[in-house]
């Protein structure tokens, strides 16, 4: 299997569709170099698998709802299942990651590994993400997956199991107290991001976004501020712009005006203004410089 190509494949609500590994071995490794260019940003998304990222060189800004972490060279971070997350290089980042389904560790949902350890861990309300404490175990697993020598699957599973056991021990008190499920902010932000991703091309307003999570406008504003340090409308504008950037390259037959309308902008000039703010160039310049 080796390392897979690092490319997000998201559905319209931000859930990742790309399979990580195979049904027989549900784990994938990725290696990619990122810069601080807008197109290198890893947008808000989530997936069923747990993810461990490790910065080989450089630095990474990583966000989960309500928290921002700066992961430096030789450091790693663990992200829980189904948790929205966002990442961007701090100037430059050579990033390694392993994305794996809990079944890799448990074998099946009724095993002792599932019932006693993994299921309580991934449903622990206080385990959203945390710094990686066993970097050596991660590197052993990553190297084994990359080299694919005979029996590498055992090495990968063994070392990821060690990391999961250390996480269970770290959150043992919260697990024993029965605190489970996403915290309210994380669940609300997931619902509202889903709504924006599914309807960004429509004429959305704050009231509609708040109503999607069954909360008021003020609470919506507070939730976005606490979770992703941005306002709902600013997030919507940036999301529309990034979708427009993708369409410029994927649909070369459409004009800038047509793409602006498809992304929910009321005019091509408004789209171009926002585009230049985020990408430091006009839509036409972006299409010219990045098109095939």
Helix axes 232-250, 184-199, angle to 10 degrees: 40
pLDDT digits (tens, 9 = 90+) for 4-50: 655 554 444 444 445 577 889 999 999 999 998 888 999 888 888 99
Q: To which residue do tokens 């606490």 refer?
A: 226
Cβ pair 35, 151 in contact under 8 A: no
| Per-residue pLDDT tens over the stretch 203-238 | 999 999 999 999 999 999 999 988 888 899 999 999
Question: What pTM was computed for the model?
Answer: 0.76
The answer on pLDDT for 162 being more than 70 is yes
Cα separation, 291 vs 192, in Å, equals 32
């Amino acid at each position: 299997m080796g390392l897979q190509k690092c490319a997000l494949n998201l559905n319209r609500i931000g859930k990742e569709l790309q399979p990580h590994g195979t049904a027989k071995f549900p784990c994938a490794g990725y290696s990619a170099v990122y810069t601080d260019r807008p197109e290198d940003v890893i947008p808000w998304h989530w997936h069923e698998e747990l993810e461990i990222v490790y910065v080989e060189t450089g630095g990474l800004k990583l966000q989960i709802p309500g928290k921002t972490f700066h992961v430096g060279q030789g450091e790693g971070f663990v992200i829980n299942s189904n948790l929205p997350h966002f990442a961007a290089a701090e100037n430059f980042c050579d990033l390694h990651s392993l994305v794996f389904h809990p079944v890799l560790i448990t074998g099946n949902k009724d095993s002792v590994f599932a019932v006693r350890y993994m299921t309580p861990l991934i449903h622990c309300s206080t385990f959203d993400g945390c710094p990686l404490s066993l970097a050596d175990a991660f590197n052993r697993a990553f190297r084994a997956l990359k080299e694919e020598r005979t029996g590498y699957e055992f090495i990968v599973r063994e070392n990821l199991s060690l990391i999961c056991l250390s996480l269970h021990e770290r959150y043992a008190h919260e697990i024993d107290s029965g605190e489970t499920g996403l915290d309210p902010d994380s669940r609300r932000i997931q619902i509202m991001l889903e709504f924006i991703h599914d309807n960004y091309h429509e004429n959305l307003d704050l009231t509609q976004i708040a109503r999607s999570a069954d909360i008021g406008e003020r609470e919506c504003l507070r939730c976005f501020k606490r979770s992703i340090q941005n306002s709902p409308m600013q997030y919507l504008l940036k999301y529309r712009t990034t979708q427009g950037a993708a369409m410029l390259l994927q649909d070369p037959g459409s004009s800038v005006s047509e793409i602006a309308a498809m992304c929910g902008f009321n005019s091509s000039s408004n789209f171009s203004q926002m585009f230049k703010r985020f990408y430091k160039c006009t839509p036409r310049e972006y299409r010219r410089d990045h098109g095939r």
